[in-house]
Amino acid sequence: MVPAPPDEPSAAPSEPLEPTVTQELALEPVQFIARTDAVLRLGSLMLGAGASSARVRDSMVRAAEAVGIDDVHCRVGMTDIVLTAGRGQMFRTRVAEVPRPTVDADRMTALKRLTARLQPGTTPVQLQGALREIDRMPRRYSDLTRVLAAALACAAFALLNNGGWQEFVAVGIAAAAGQWVRMLIHRLRTNEFLLVFASAMTALLVYLAAAQVFVAFGVPGGQHDAALTSAVLYLVPGFPLVTGALDLARLDLNAGIARVTYAVLVLLATGTAVWGVATVFDATVTQVAAPEFAEPLLSLVRLAAGFVGVLGFALLFGTPWAIALTASSLGAVANVGRLALVDAHVNPAVAAAAAALAVGLGAYLFGDRLRAARVTLTVPAVLIMVPGAAAYRSIAGVIGGDTVAAIQNATTALFVVVALAIGLTVARVLTEREWSRPAR
């Protein structure tokens, strides 16, 4: 008898079941994820507030050590952060994007103070709670204060560019109008270069209108054309320009090139508006005004104008009052010294480097006492020395065909900005140990 064949299997072996949500959570290193997320959020907030890449990286490393992450590597760009964290045999990589960094010195200061008081044993919940409070902080100053700050800063620049009281008043009115339009358009979240162009056009047209009012009342200024560029100096991208230069000084090319490129594009947008208005209204923006005052009154005017100008920019960036007043004092004194050296026929770049070095050393002396991020002291202080007017004259000269004036102004602007970065870098190298080492 032939034995019966074995029974065929009724079905294929069942597939392994997917883990439940509870099982997945049990497999995930939840605490390690929480530590990584807290460190990344700190870096994102700092980058969004306008901090330099080096400062963001150093703060993230300090926070990682405080929450118990053994190893951390991060690449910080202008608008993105790539973080790889390790703890024992675990590692995790996260990426964060900051769509449009907005300079907020108040938030930057709060984050710096938070980072300084972090101690080993800090839990992710504690760090996230502190970051949540900082993230909810409103802007320190109202829109009206920021409009007045822009007006004061640019009006002071008009005096520093050898304008008279007529130019001082006209530039102040124009810059206030331009800043107001800038804030209105910013709320629409439109293209940033369109925003800059529209804001610059508003300021320039209002300046020319105000100058004509003075002429109509029989009090014309003698140097209206030369002061025209002062009306748009609130648009000079000081933070990305200076922090980008500092990043390049540390060979952080990823962030430095992006920041400097962004700054150049903003300058081009503003310079195009300057050229357009100057062409339509036949203004000669490439000329440089002669001083209105003689010594010692000239130095006193420069000192007062420098103080007001730096204070205006500091308030425009949302800097706390104590830090803003300190930055104003440093910038005013250093700028008077710089201009005195230039008047004594010292090369402008050498004078700028010496002034920036003085500002950097002063920021080191006062920064710890104020518990301030050094960039909130140095950037407003040296911004008054950035040759924004020369940059705009250069762009207008290139477009308008005045090649000689364009080359002269462009060379002056480039070498002065480089010299300012060198001065600040030397000050950092002399006073901060991590700056004497290459960036990680």
Can you give the pLDDT at residue 279?
81
According to DSSP, the residues that pair with 87 across neighbouring strands are 90
Q: Rounded to an integer, what distance in angstroms lies between the CA atom of residue 267 and that of residue 273? A: 10
DSSP code at position 87: E
Which ranges constitute the DSSP H helices of 217-320?
Answer: 224-227, 238-249, 253-280, 297-316
Q: Low-confidence residues of the chain, pLDDT below 50?
A: 1-2, 5-6, 8-16, 19, 21, 23-25, 27
Q: Convert 121-141 into a string of H (helix), E (strand) and C (coil).
A: CCCHHHHHHHHHHHHCCCCCC
Q: Rounded to an integer, what distance in angstroms lies between the CA atom of residue 80 and that of residue 97? A: 4
Q: Rounded to an integer, what distance in angstroms lies between the CA atom of residue 306 and that of residue 298? A: 12
Q: Rounded to an integer, what distance in angstroms lies between the CA atom of residue 76 and that of residue 252? A: 9
Q: Which of 20, 63, 14, 71 is nearest to 41 (CA)?
A: 63
The counts of H helices and E strands in the chain are 17, 3
Are 226 and 163 in contact, with CB atoms under 8 Å apart?
yes
Q: Rounded to an integer, what distance in angstroms lies between the CA atom of residue 296 and that of residue 294? A: 6
Residues contacting 356, CB < 8 A, separation 6+: 334, 378, 382, 385, 419, 420, 421, 422, 423, 424, 427
Phi, psi values for residue 4, rounded to 5°: -70, 145
pLDDT of 283-296, one tens digit each? 766 555 666 666 78
Are 115 and 41 in contact, with CB atoms under 8 Å apart?
no
Residues contacting 267, CB < 8 A, separation 6+: 236, 237, 388, 391, 392, 395
Q: Rounded to an integer, what distance in angstroms lies between the CA atom of residue 174 and that of residue 322? A: 28
Distance, first Cα to last Cα, the chain: 83
Are 225 and 234 in contact, with CB atoms under 8 Å apart?
no
Can you give the pLDDT at residue 287?
56
Residues contacting 14, CB < 8 A, separation 6+: none
CA trace torsion 335, 338, 340, 344 (10° rounding) = -170
CA trace torsion 266, 268, 274, 280 (10° rounding) = -130
Can you give the pLDDT at residue 252?
83
How much is the pTM?
0.83
